[in-house]
């Protein structure tokens, strides 16, 4: 395999990843647990934001595939803007995923004993 083919192969993989994100955004949104064991309601994923972010990832993959073509810079800029916009539309979901860990996953039936120390899992 020639070294020049590596960006094209990477571009195809990223393009397929972007298409998978788009397919997930258009898919059914009803999948998930029947009974949620969390204390607070889960943040939902904004499907339009996920669709725009998937489009941005696909555009970045297309820019890698079509090296040295006329609109490569525009494609990269539009793809980056789409990813940022999709991330901003889903900021509540990302905030919950990265910051709310631990006690939000306990069952309501089990009493919570308050201690001075936080337990890290």
Print pLDDT tens along the chain (121 aa): 788 889 899 999 999 999 999 999 998 776 655 665 666 677 788 899 999 999 999 999 999 998 788 889 999 999 999 999 999 999 988 888 888 765 555 555 555 556 666 656 6
84 occurs within a structural domain: yes
77 occurs within a structural domain: yes
Q: What is the pLDDT of residue 71?
A: 87
Cα–Cα distance for residue pair 21/47, rounded to 1 Å = 10
Q: What is the pLDDT of residue 117?
A: 63
Q: Which residues of 7-39 are buried (b: 16+ CB within 10 A; e: fewer)?
A: eeeebeebbeebeebbeebeeeeeeeeeeeeee
Range of the domain at 75: 47-103
19 occurs within a structural domain: no
57 occurs within a structural domain: yes
**How many structural domains does the chain have?**
1
31 occurs within a structural domain: no
94 occurs within a structural domain: yes
- Cα angle, residue 40 at apex, residues 37 and 41 outer, rounded to 5°: 85
25 occurs within a structural domain: no
Q: What is the pLDDT of residue 68?
A: 80
> What pTM does this model have?
0.72
């Amino acid at each position: 395999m020639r070294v020049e083919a590596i960006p094209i192969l990477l571009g195809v993989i990223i393009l397929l990843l972007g298409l998978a994100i788009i397919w997930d955004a258009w898919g059914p949104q009803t999948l998930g647990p029947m009974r949620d064991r969390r204390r607070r309601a889960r943040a939902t994923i904004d499907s339009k934001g996920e669709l725009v972010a998937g489009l941005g990832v696909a555009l970045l993959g297309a820019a890698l595939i079509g090296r040295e073509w006329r609109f490569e810079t525009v494609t990269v800029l539009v793809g980056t803007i789409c990813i940022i916009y999709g991330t901003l539309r889903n900021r509540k979901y990302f905030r919950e995923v990265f910051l709310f860990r631990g006690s939000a996953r306990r069952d309501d039936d089990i009493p919570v004993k308050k201690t001075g120390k936080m337990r890290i899992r």
